[in-house]
Amino acid sequence: MRYQNPVLPGFYPDPSVCKYGDKYYLVTSSFQFFPGVPLFESDDLVNWTQIGHVLTRKSQLPLEDASNSGSIYAPTIRVNNGRFYMVTTNISSKGNFYVWTDDIYGEWSEPVWVERDGIDPSLYFEDGKCYFMSNGTDAKGDSGVTQCEIDIETGKVLSEVVTVWHGTGGRFLESPHLYKFKDTYYLMAAEGGTEYGHMVVMAYSDNIYGPFTEVKNNPILTNRNLGGYELQGCGHGDLVEDNNGNIWMVHLGFRQIGKWLLYHTIGRETCLVPVTIAGDEVYAGYKGTTTLTVDTERLPDDLVQKKEEVTTFKNTRPGREWIYIRYPRNGKYLWQDERVYLFGVKDKLDDDLAYPTFMGIRQKQPEGKMSVTIEACGDNEAGVTLYMDNQHHIDIGVKKTCGGRKLFKHVSIGDLSVVTDEFDIPAEGKISVDIVFEKLHYGFSVNAGGKEYDLGKNQSRYLSTEVAGGFTGVLIGLYAQTEIDDSDTPAIFSDLKIEY
């Protein structure tokens, strides 16, 4: 069978996977966005369906202090005796915590906070015990992959914290996960940082607390030596065993926009590679790299990797595919008859730690197009935004003026926040916005009152992670903005289409 990576395209980083019955479940990090930690289900590891989010309540997800790329870092999902656990770090709040559920389609528990430092926590269950690891520091001040036992009912640390592995010497040792295959413990981690030097490394031991010995062929996975190859940054993986005893790794990678253009715009994405563990050697992907096209005999030839459907208001849902910057304010979003009604507030897309009226959906491929109709622009301003963060976004907006309306393009890149195009358009009537996604550019055009307006092109690199920093990817957003917080005149959007 042949499949394409990424298997989960768009901003879905730090994947973690577990298997329950014949189904696989996968989570990714979510940072300052609400709801938190998207949750997917799959029968075959190649086709994933989002079944919800893990963190759906404010009490689970304090985001008040979550600036760009703040709050929810890498999660781990595990299942033990039919109970699912998701453990992660809220770096803008109290640190490491987990939540659990007995119904994967239902709500998850309140957070159980764990008094351990470090990021990228992971759980390992064995013989009624639960082991907690992170990239922390132990009582002696040593740091690396730290491990201790916790009481899974209360989150209390039950044993001395021990540094079990220092990695292979690469920077940013993170994402530790422990497994047992054929009576041997395997510890997998990431090194090199989540950029072009990223890699997956592994060690093994007969004892759960080590000492751990490096496998012979570290790093077991990296694309750092594939200069110019589109898929880069491969690292931060998690393993799962299928019903046939085959081991697979999900991991993150990103697609650079050009051979000599080291920028990526749509975030870190989830990839899949076959893994073989042979004692002290571990083979992952194609000669330790991840390719965009994977041919494998491990999956049946009649298995088809489904193509992305055209995204509309009919086949997507608020709080599922659509996410909010921090919290959605009550009463500001209405979804009715395939139309979206947004009630603007004073908070702007440019504001940090704010709650603008905005809902966004991931740009999933570097190439594609979208269109949406703005039927009304509310009290003041409404539009479409390509949103990386509050300092890096391009907006096509419509604004009321005395007796008329203005169509404009606003570009925000770091310290630069400028309106680059402006047209007077008729005071009434629908406006349709078209955006073309190319690897290197975004192109913008608008039809208002039967007249076409060309709003030009912008280089995509200025919305990239390399420019903006952080860990997220471009969202396609709809927004509304006014000068008052209690406006009862909504902006109205209809006829959305996003195609790749």
Tokens of 118: 């470090």
Q: Is there binding between residue 38 and ligand 6LW (CB under 6 A)?
A: no
Which of 73, 98, 132, 479 touches ligand 6LW (CB under 6 A)? 73
Report in angstroms how near the CB of residue 389 gets to ligand 6LW at its nearest. 14
- Residue 418's DSSP bridge partners are 411
Q: Is there binding between residue 175 and ligand 6LW (CB under 6 A)?
A: yes
Of the listed 44, 120, 174, 389, which one is catalytic?
Answer: 174
Sign of the torsion angle spanned by Cα atoms 207, 213, 216, 221: positive
CA triple 377-325-355, angle to 5 deg: 65
Instruction: Give the nearer residue to ligand 6LW in terms of CB position, either 195 or 485.
Output: 195
Which of 25, 324, 471, 493 touches ligand 6LW (CB under 6 A)? 471
Report in angstroms how near the CB of residue 166 gets to ligand 6LW at its nearest. 17
Assess contact for 363 and 469: CB atoms under 8 A: no
Rounded Cα distance between 222 and 435, Å, is: 34
Rounded Cα distance between 19 and 243, Å, is: 10
Instruction: Give the nearer residue to ligand 6LW in terms of CB position, either 251 or 392.
Output: 251
Report in angstroms how near the CB of residue 256 gets to ligand 6LW at its nearest. 16
How far is Cα of residue 218 from the mean position of the Cα atoms in its chain?
27
Q: Is there binding between residue 68 and ligand 6LW (CB under 6 A)?
A: no
Q: Is there binding between residue 7 and ligand 6LW (CB under 6 A)?
A: no
Instruction: Give the nearer residue to ligand 6LW in terms of CB position, either 252 or 448.
Output: 252
Which of 10, 14, 247, 363 touches ligand 6LW (CB under 6 A)? 14
Which of 9, 10, 13, 197 touches ligand 6LW (CB under 6 A)? 13
Of the listed 14, 44, 347, 375, which one is catalytic?
Answer: 14
| CA-to-CA dists, residue 461 to 31, 371, 389, angstroms | 21, 22, 14
Site string for ligand 6LW, 115-154 (x = CB under 6 A): ----xx----------------------------------
Report in angstroms how near the CB of residue 89 gets to ligand 6LW at its nearest. 7
Assess contact for 464 and 340: CB atoms under 8 A: no
Other beta carbons less than 10 A from residue 15's beta carbon: 30
Which of 44, 149, 174, 347 touches ligand 6LW (CB under 6 A)? 174
Instruction: Give the nearer residue to ligand 6LW in terms of CB position, either 167 or 344.
Output: 167
Instruction: Give the nearer residue to ligand 6LW in terms of CB position, either 377 or 388.
Output: 388
Sign of the torsion angle spanned by Cα atoms 101, 105, 107, 111: positive
Instruction: Give the nearer residue to ligand 6LW in terms of CB position, either 14 or 230.
Output: 14
- Residue 382's DSSP bridge partners are 398, 480
Q: Is there binding between residue 74 and ligand 6LW (CB under 6 A)?
A: yes
Residue 460: φ, ψ to 5°: -65, -25
Site string for ligand 6LW, 430-469 (x = CB under 6 A): ----------------------------------------
End-to-end CA distance of the chain: 23
Residues in the chain: 500
Which residues 6+ apart lie within 8 Å of 372 measured at CB? 384, 432, 433, 478, 493, 494, 495, 496, 497
Instruction: Give the nearer residue to ligand 6LW in terms of CB position, either 267 or 383.
Output: 267
239 to 268, contacts with ligand 6LW by CB under 6 A? Answer: 252
- Write the DSSP assignment of 403-427 as a string of letters: TEEEEEEEEEETTEEEEEEEEEE-S
User: Catalytic: 14?
Assistant: yes
User: Catalytic: 64?
Assistant: no
Which of 236, 251, 405, 410 touches ligand 6LW (CB under 6 A)? 236
Which residues 6+ apart lie within 8 Å of 272 measured at CB? 3, 5, 7, 45, 46, 248, 249, 250, 294
Instruction: Give the nearer residue to ligand 6LW in terms of CB position, either 237 or 274.
Output: 237
User: Rg of the chain's alpha carbons, rounded to an integer?
Assistant: 23
Residues of this chain that bind ligand 6LW (CB under 6 A) = 13-14, 29, 73-74, 119-120, 174-175, 190, 194, 235-236, 252, 471
State the catalytic residues: 14, 174
